[in-house]
Amino acid sequence: MIKDENNLSKNSRLLEIIKVLTSHNVLFNLARQTNPGEVREAFEDLGPTFIKLGQLLSTRDDIISEEYISEFKKLQDQVKTDDFEIVREIIENSTNMEIDELFEELDEIPLASASIGQVHYGKLLSGTEVVVKVQHPGIYEKMSTDIELLEKAIPVMKFIPNSNMINPYDMLDELKRSLLIELDFNNETNNIEKFFNNNTDENIICPKVYRQFSNKNLLIMDFMKGIKISDYIINVDEEVSRGNKKFFNIKKNIANILIDNYIKQIFEDGFFHADPHPGNILVCDDKLVYLDFGMMGSLDDQTIEKLNHIVAALVQEDDALIAKAIANLCKHSKDLNMDILTEDVGKLFSKYYDMSIGDMSLPEIFSNVTKVCSKNHLILPSNVALLFKGITTIEGIILQLDPNLSFMSAIEPYAQNYLIKKFDLQKESLQLLRSLIKLMKIAPDLPVKLSKFLDDIINGRFKLNTDMQLYYINRIFGNLSLSIITAALIIGSSIIVQNNKLTNLGITGFIISLVLLFFLLFSIYKKK
């Protein structure tokens, strides 16, 4: 009986989805990337799952057009608030406590309601002001049903333009992953605690979460006071227009705090706020307050290095290197045409070659990367797409705070420090030493091989200009001698560095070794 009711419910939902998609002509519009507003309205009518799908797509300008990106960013949750008695029941069942045993007060009218849950203001018995986030009952089952129906509808994806660019199963898996994370408030609890521990800076504030009262359906954290950063900018600009110059410097200071902290999140923490829109950043007593930790991004060292390779290739003004770096970052089919990719890179990136790093626009570079990816059927990793979205959002806020502050110029020293930290002198020296030892191992064989070589020439079995003979012999022994000297210096310097009293002498030895090594490599390259 229960199974029949479930099937009836799924069939009813399927009919509802078909009706809405048909009335808004969604497949036709998507196939031609037209009428994005019509598609947005359809997603809003279909509820939380489709709203989340649209919001997910809004970060993927390597997949859909800019018009669709812009429209999907407007998606609004059309969710009715739950009665307070339902909220009370969820809280009491989750905490095994009566409302009066936990709260001094709890507002019955929610501050806000979204697709997953709604938020109430409260005050603990300790007097601490808190925000209480309660999940809508039945939302997990409803979203699970929608996901199941979408899986069955995947074959229809072939009618959507550029669907060959991405495996629809991958996109659906990403949606499922995203929803499962958001549907379990324990994940957001972990995000808040991790962000809280990473950002202990006196200029950054984030809420404390009360884990003892929180679980997968309930989240209780500090109520954060402050003014939205967009409203703050308006207020400060009004003060500046009245001649109050001190607010001009205050605004610039906020800009520096914001950009320094966000770059730190990327390069030092590898864990960043992926949705830093003005509603999620407050200003309180000239400090920044972060809110809403449902969408966070993570970057490992390998991904950061791949992104650094793109910037390094851009600085070297090399189309082929940029193309290779982008291809290494992305997922792509085996038949990727590197010549076409390199040509596309040249068209979009050559204008940066005469610019200083500080004059480059990082969001514009990201936009060009996604354009190249879209044209060549390259798929950005989801965490990189989130990073692009986050930096572009932050850059928009920064420009309002301080138009002279460039994200690209600010990121340069952090990128350099990152590379320096990742450069292990001992590891690199050992690698170089291994290579030189291999060369030294074959050195004893060289006289025998050279003797045979000369014998062949003398007996007429091999003819070569005498000057050329001497030239190559001289080069071989010259390079070999330099290699042995360099290896000896490295070994000696390594031993000296072990003695703390002679560290400077050891470092000097390393520097001389590097100079000799670069001279050797340059000599080989120049005359190869």
The confidence score (pLDDT) of residue 180 equals 84
Q: Which is it for the CA torsion 452, 455, 460, 465, positive or negative?
A: positive
The pLDDT of residue 511: 64
238-289 tens-digit pLDDT: 888 888 878 888 899 999 999 999 999 988 899 999 989 888 999 998 899 9
On whether the CB atoms of residues 160 and 30 are closer than 8 A, the answer is yes
Identify the residue whose tokens are 């018009």.
67
Nearest-angstrom CA–CA distance, 33 and 35: 7
Q: State residue 452's pLDDT score.
A: 60
Residue 163 confidence (pLDDT): 46
- For the chain, residues with pLDDT lower than 50 are 1-2, 4-5, 162-165, 423-426, 428, 462-465, 467-468, 500-502, 528
The structure's pTM equals: 0.70
Which amino acid makes up residue 331? K
Instruction: Give the whole-angstrom CA distance, residue 443 versus residue 449.
Output: 10
How many beta carbons lie within 10 A of that of residue 282, not counting itself?
Answer: 20
Tokens of 85: 């008695």
Q: What angle do CA 388, 391, 397 make, to 5 degrees?
A: 140
Q: CA-to-CA distance for 56 and 386, rounded, in angstroms?
A: 10
Evaluate whether 389 touches 274 at the Cβ level (below 8 Å).
yes
Contact 272, 394 (CB under 8 A): no
**368-422 pLDDT, tens digit each:** 898 898 888 888 888 898 898 899 889 889 989 998 887 877 877 766 665 555 5
Strands lying side by side in the sheet with 281-284? 204-205, 287-290, 281-284, 227-228
Q: Tell me the C-alpha distance between 257 and 517, whole Å.
A: 42
